[in-house]
């Protein structure tokens, strides 16, 4: 939520606006009565459109009884519209959300470098200890199914904050549990409660995408449950104090159109089957889901395999092994620094007209350039974030828009569940067929990724035209 001072200031502005507008748009049974003499809001007020709902057959200007005032953002000058926020406010909110994402993505890779030590402490094999990371990934994949309905019903902030608060307890439980079974359960619940943040976070922005990619690469270097708990607690406090809240006035009469549309159970019934439907019937989601799943197989195979390759095969120290993870993070950071140039290019393509649309296939340029270069660790860091940003922008900004949350949830479920299974297979694969053949197999997977952006560039319009949910070429 915003700071206390901001919260009160905006609440007062909205209350003042409500007091200045004695006549509002009202809806009654059988007829619509719209007032023609609404006082125009002043420059320092918040121009919201209010539609009064029907209550017990009586529509009143002050919404007595069960009435509600439905608020919606209108116009390019409405400061409550996120697209109209000042640049500083948008940067602040992106930074806070990125920090929260970074902290929870960090938890997924906090212990791969300690695999040998942890397996010895719990008296299990190193393969079994990989189940800890796998259960975290399974938890995210399972929780992604419920993230969309939660966001639409109770809002993003309550979902982020409540789930993160629960997540902190299970991070602490992962650190303190004396048994392997306790660790596995806690790790699954850590993933489950972090899914609200990690599954649908609008990763089309390079900064947010960087937080998703760089955190698992940095965590093995300075990981450990104490560090994870400190970073996660700080991220929660910052988000709790400063992340914008959509409920501003504290008056229960003022509601959004989403809040009035349906109950959580009804939305869950409506939305619950859609991720599976999107994966099986939406060609764009199916292809992108497979594409990002292969990419995540590479990423988490590296995270679980570097410990085997560099420590056991090449006998490198923990510090030197960590430098390979740092190279991935450095590559991701390098691409992120190039992002302003890419967005300037997009603005130039639209002739700097505000709100103008752009072909979704244009979003694929970073992936087109980066896909052939998935080689060394630094380059791989650049490649993964380039593909990540391109794919999410294609889905969110270009193809699905209103249904983008379902599309992201579908892809999240698939890629995290498959990546979790792959984590369990990594060490037996390295030990069974050797480092050489394992890396050859992963190289073949990387080659499979190569033509995907080009195929979307060429046939994306046709795929979108076949979808009942995606925007067609003429939208």
Q: pLDDT for 117-174, tens place per residue?
A: 888 889 999 889 889 989 999 999 888 877 766 776 677 788 889 999 999 999 999 9
pLDDT in tens, 318-337: 777 777 888 888 888 888 88
Q: What is the pLDDT of residue 204?
A: 52
Task: Output 359 or 187, whichever has higher pLDDT.
Answer: 187
pLDDT at 419 over 90: no
Kindly tell me if the per-residue pLDDT of 40 is higher than 50: no
Beta bridge partners of 49: 72
Q: Which of 35-49, 85-99, 327-341, 447-461 has the lowest mean pLDDT?
A: 35-49
Q: Which pLDDT score, from 0 to 100, does residue 260 have?
A: 57
Q: Which pLDDT does position 166 carry in this prediction?
A: 95
Spell out a b/e string for 145-170, using b for 16 or more CB atoms within 10 Å of the CB, else e.
bbbbbbbbbebbbbbbbebbeebbeb
Q: Measured in Å, how far apart are the chain's first and last C-alpha atoms?
A: 35
**With contact defined as beta carbons under 8 Å apart, do 278 and 411 qualify?**
no
> In whole angstroms, what is the distance from residue 193 CA to residue 311 CA?
33
Give the sheet arrangement for strand 26-28, strand by strand. 31-33, 26-28, 48-52, 69-73, 254-256
Beta-carbon contacts of 173 under 8 Å, excluding residues fewer than 6 positions away, are: 182, 186, 189
* pLDDT confidence of residue 47: 40
Alpha helix positions (H), 115-205: 115-122, 126-129, 131-154, 156-176, 180-198
Q: How far apart are CA 117 and CA 290, in angstroms?
A: 34
Name the more confident of 236 and 327.
236
C-alpha–C-alpha distance, residues 112 and 77, integer Å: 49
pLDDT score at 71: 63
Q: Specify the 3-state DSSP secondary structure of 28.
A: strand
Q: Which residue has the higher pLDDT, 87 or 204?
A: 87
Between 376 and 281, the higher pLDDT residue: 281
| pLDDT tens-digit series, residues 343-402 | 676 666 655 555 556 676 777 777 777 766 655 778 888 888 888 888 888 887 667 766
pLDDT, mean over the chain: 75
Look at residue 57 and tell me whether its pLDDT is greater than 80.
Answer: no
Q: What is the mean pLDDT of residues 441-451?
A: 80
Distance CA 123, CA 134 (A): 18
β 48-52/69-73 pair status = antiparallel
Average the pLDDT over 71-84 and give the result. Answer: 64
pLDDT at 184: 94
Kindly state the percentage of the chain with pLDDT values over 70. 68
Percent residues over pLDDT 90 in the chain: 13
Whose tokens are 């992108």? That residue is 288
pLDDT of residue 21: 55
**Predicted local distance difference test score (pLDDT) of residue 261:** 57
Residue 398 to residue 112: CA distance in whole angstroms: 37
CA distance 141 to 409: 9
How much is the average pLDDT of 217-246? Answer: 85
């Amino acid at each position: 939520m915003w700071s206390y001072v901001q919260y009160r200031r905006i609440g007062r502005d909205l209350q003042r606006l409500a007091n200045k507008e004695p006549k509002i748009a009202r809806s009654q049974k059988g007829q619509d009565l719209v007032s023609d003499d609404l006082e125009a809001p002043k420059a320092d007020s918040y121009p919201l459109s209010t539609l009064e709902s029907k209550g017990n057959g009586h529509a009143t200007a002050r919404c007595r009884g069960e009435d509600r005032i439905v608020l919606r953002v209108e116009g390019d000058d409405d400061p409550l519209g996120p697209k109209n926020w000042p640049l500083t406010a948008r940067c602040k909110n992106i930074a806070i959300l990125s920090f929260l994402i970074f902290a929870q993505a960090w938890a997924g890779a906090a212990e791969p470098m300690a695999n040998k030590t942890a397996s010895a402490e719990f008296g299990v094999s190193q393969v079994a200890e990989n189940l800890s990371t796998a259960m975290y990934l399974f938890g995210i994949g399972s929780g992604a199914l419920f993230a969309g309905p939660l966001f639409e019903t109770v809002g993003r902030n309550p979902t982020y904050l409540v789930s993160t608060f629960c997540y902190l307890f299970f991070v602490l439980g992962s650190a303190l549990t004396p048994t392997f079974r306790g660790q596995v359960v806690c790790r699954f619940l850590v993933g489950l409660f972090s899914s609200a943040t990690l599954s649908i976070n609008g990763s089309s922005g390079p900064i947010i995408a960087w937080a998703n990619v760089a955190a698992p690469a940095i965590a093995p270097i300075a990981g450990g449950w104490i560090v994870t708990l400190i970073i996660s607690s700080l991220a929660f406090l910052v988000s709790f104090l400063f992340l914008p809240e959509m409920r501003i006035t504290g008056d229960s009469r003022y509601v959004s159109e989403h809040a009035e549309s349906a109950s959580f159970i009804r939305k869950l019934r409506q939305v619950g089957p859609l991720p599976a439907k999107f994966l099986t019937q939406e060609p764009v989601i199916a292809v992108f889901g497979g594409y990002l799943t292969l990419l995540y197989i590479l990423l988490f195979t590296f995270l679980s395999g570097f410990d085997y390759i560099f420590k056991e095969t090449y006998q490198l120290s923990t510090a030197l092994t960590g430098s390979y993870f740092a190279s991935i993070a450095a590559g991701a950071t390098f691409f992120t620094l190039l992002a302003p140039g890419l967005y300037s290019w997009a603005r130039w393509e639209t002739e700097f007209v505000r709100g103008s649309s752009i072909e979704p296939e244009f979003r694929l340029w970073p992936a087109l350039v980066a896909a052939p270069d998935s080689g060394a660790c630094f380059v791989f860091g650049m490649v993964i974030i380039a593909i990540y940003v391109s794919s999410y922008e294609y889905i969110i900004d270009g193809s699905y828009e209103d249904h983008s949350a379902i599309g992201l949830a579908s892809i999240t479920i698939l890629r995290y569940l498959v990546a979790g299974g792959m984590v369990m297979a990594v060490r037996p694969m390295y030990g069974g067929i050797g480092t050489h053949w394992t890396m050859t197999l992963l190289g073949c997977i990387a080659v499979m990724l190569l033509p995907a952006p080009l195929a979307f560039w060429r046939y994306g319009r046709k795929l979108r035209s076949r979808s009942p949910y995606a925007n067609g070429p003429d939208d």
